[in-house]
């Protein structure tokens, strides 16, 4: 049996504790203090020895601060253990995985270099935005899916003949898997995002959603723009209720309000990012992958 020690960063302490319990591994907590000038001071209570050290930290907002905290913890424990893994349940910067416009930087590649330089040997993510983001990290990496646990939650809701909807063609495979597990059908909308303004539009023509309850499935919600546009479009086509299932609910600024105002009945997300909608626990998915 591999001997793990789990360290929880401040952005993921609850999830890290759950993972430690499942793995029957010791849990080490970390401290964080923010100075008036914005610098953070990270402290670690205890230094693990003779084990595989797994540092768990999502990099949701404040993205750079949470990332720096992760890098700091890793660089400290790396001095005492040669086997330091990280679990980054929500991986920030994964959407910056290619040069969409001239002059853009593939920042997820920079994040990979930083993680490698601090001493990370292996990374585990949950529903990372794209396969190319995982590749750009250039460190042995694995991605696990939260779709099964999300579907389990929806099965308990006993919805009658729901239709699964992907808000864009990029999410088609995810929606297909979700629909298969839920034993129902799915459609994928066509979405366009203006790379300069960030505004989204739905380009699909007529869709057959009349009188059906819908579950929009996405990897993440940030501003809510994609979900709002998709919901308004689907409501025009006379669907019944709209639910949203996503792995990472960033819900920045007033995203929740905008989504509710658009007519969404409920947002269900996972605890890769803590929050009101985080009803689904991914600790089993992560600990099974670590074992
Ligand atoms: C895009 O391809 C992603 O899968 C999400 O749909 C998108 O990042 C969500 O962002 P927002 O909520 O700002 O529209």
pLDDT of 45 reads 83
- Asked if residue 205 has pLDDT above 60, the reply is yes
Contact between 178 and 215 (Cβ < 8 Å): yes
- For 129-161, the pLDDT digits (tens) are 999 999 999 999 999 999 999 999 999 999 999
Marked catalytic residue, from 76, 121, 191, 229 = 191
Is residue 97 within 6 Å of ligand 1 at its C-beta? Answer: no
pLDDT of 1 reads 55
- Asked if residue 2 has pLDDT above 80, the reply is no
Active site residue 284: no
* Residue 204's pLDDT band (cuts 50, 70, 90): confident
- For 11-30, the pLDDT digits (tens) are 999 999 999 999 999 999 99
* Residue 47's pLDDT band (cuts 50, 70, 90): confident
Is residue 219 within 6 Å of ligand 1 at its C-beta? Answer: yes
Round to whole Å and give the CA distance between 209 and 220.
Answer: 23
Phi, psi of 151 (to 5 degrees): -60, -40
Q: Sheet harboring 186-188: ordered strands across? A: 186-188, 163-166, 214-221, 242-249, 264-270, 278-280
* Residue 186's pLDDT band (cuts 50, 70, 90): very high
Round to whole Å and give the CA distance between 188 and 170.
Answer: 9
Task: Give SS3 for 243.
Answer: strand
Q: Among 226, 230, 259, which residue has the most ligand 1 atoms within 8 Å of its CB, making it the best to mutate?
A: 226
Phi, psi of 259 (to 5 degrees): -70, -45
The mean pLDDT of the chain is 96
Separation of CA 223 and ligand 1 centre (Å): 8
* Residue 55's pLDDT band (cuts 50, 70, 90): very high
Q: Among 94, 189, 220, 253, which residue has the most ligand 1 atoms within 8 Å of its CB, making it the best to mutate?
A: 220
- Residues paired with 221 in a beta bridge: 249
Measured at the CA of 247, the angle between CA 164 and CA 52, to 5 degrees, comes to 140
Round to whole Å and give the CA distance between 222 and 217.
Answer: 14
Round to whole Å and give the CA distance between 27 and 14.
Answer: 11
Cis peptide before 247 (omega within 30 of 0): no
pLDDT of 46 reads 87
Mean pLDDT, residues 156-176 taken together: 95
């Amino acid at each position: 049996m591999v001997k793990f020690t789990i360290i929880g960063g401040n952005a993921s302490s609850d999830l890290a504790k759950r993972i430690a319990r499942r793995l029957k591994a010791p849990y080490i907590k970390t401290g964080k203090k923010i100075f008036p000038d914005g610098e953070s001071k990270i402290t670690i209570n205890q230094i693990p020895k003779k084990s595989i050290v797994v540092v768990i930290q999502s990099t949701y907002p404040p993205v750079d601060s949470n990332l720096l905290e992760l890098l700091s913890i890793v660089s400290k424990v790396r001095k005492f253990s040669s086997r330091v893994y990280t679990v980054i349940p929500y991986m920030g910067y994964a959407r910056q995985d290619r040069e969409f416009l001239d002059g853009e930087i593939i920042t997820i590649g920079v994040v990979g270099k930083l993680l490698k330089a601090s001493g990370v040997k292996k990374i585990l993510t949950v529903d990372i935005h794209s396969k190319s983001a995982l590749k750009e990290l250039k460190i042995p990496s694995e991605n696990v899916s939260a779709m099964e646990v999300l579907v389990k939650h929806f099965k308990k809701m006993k919805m009658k003949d729901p239709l699964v909807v992907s808000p864009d063609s990029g999410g088609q495979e995810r929606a297909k898997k979700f629909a298969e597990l839920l034993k129902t059908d799915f459609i994928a909308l066509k979405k366009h995002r203006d790379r300069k303004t960030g505004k989204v539009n739905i380009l699909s023509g007529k869709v057959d959603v009349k009188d059906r309850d819908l579950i929009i499935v996405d990897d993440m919600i940030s501003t809510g723009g994609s979900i709002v546009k998709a919901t308004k479009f689907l409501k025009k086509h006379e669907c019944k209720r709209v639910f949203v299932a996503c792995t990472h609910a960033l819900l920045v600024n007033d995203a929740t309000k905008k989504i509710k105002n658009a007519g969404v009945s409920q947002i269900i997300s996972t605890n890769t990012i803590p929050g009101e909608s985080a009803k689904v626990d991914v600790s089993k998915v992560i600990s099974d992958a670590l074992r």
